[in-house]
Copies of this chain bind each other. A is one copy, B any other.
Amino acid sequence: MSVTSASPDVRIAVSTAIFSVRTTDDGDQLMIPLVRRTREPFLGQWALPGGWLGGSEGLEDAAGRTLAETTALAPSWLEQLYTFGDIDRSPDARVVSVVYWALLRSDLVEAQRATAGAPENVEWFPVEALPELAFDHQHIIDYAVWRLRNKAGYSRIAAALLPDEFTLAELRGVYETVLGKRLDPSNFRRLLEGSEALVPTEAFRTGPHRPARLFQYNADIDLAELGPI
């Protein structure tokens, strides 16, 4: 097959899988917001937030814009995931989707909702208990979760899920939720104390237990660089 000019009926969409760790009745869970579709195809089914690429905006700008328009969320971290372009992924048209993945600090989810108002048709789901999804979005989310877990294993990226200050137990909790497994507290503490990733503050988390020191991430180190875990 020879193609010498662009096919005019290929459309470009941009979508974002944005993760946060949220506290539920079942404990802390890795969750993702989905948007219920209000038109065909897949009317009434859940899909990733997204929209069409504008003629005068870059891809990352389009990801931020469509995420804000559909969910009123602004990510703490945003990175391109992959471009999906199978010819049969949408029943009506040929759509190529440039997909981003993103992280959102737990403490900002409610704050952003309070400021922007909660958009209709948006609901958060645990990644382990997703509803039936439109298009190939289940496949896309599976890949995004894999990428998040992979990257959490070799970088400090999980910091983008935490407030500015956190205890070591809170940091370990986020890693455990993202990775879906328990981590040994002593090993975890040793790994982090041996790295330059964390900066102790003078503040402590107080409560019914022994006061726990609050830490910050070292701002001089890029979150995506190789980390201590």
Contacts and interface: CB of A to CB of B under 8 A. Distances in A.
A6 B96 CA distance: 11
Nearest to A60: B85
Q: Which of A6, A62, A69, A80 has the most CB of B within 10 A?
A: A6
A57 B1 contact: yes
Given A12-B6, A80-B82, A96 B54 contact: no
Given A12-B96, A65-B1, A96-B59, A7 B86 contact: no
Contacts of A59: 83, 85, 96
A129 interface: no
A53 to B, nearest CB: 6
Contact of A52 (B6, B65, B80): B6
A98 B85 contact: yes
A229 to B, nearest CB: 16
Interface string A1-22: 1111111111111000000000
A145 B141 CA distance: 28
A11 B96 CA distance: 11
B11 A51 contact: no
A86 B58 CA distance: 5
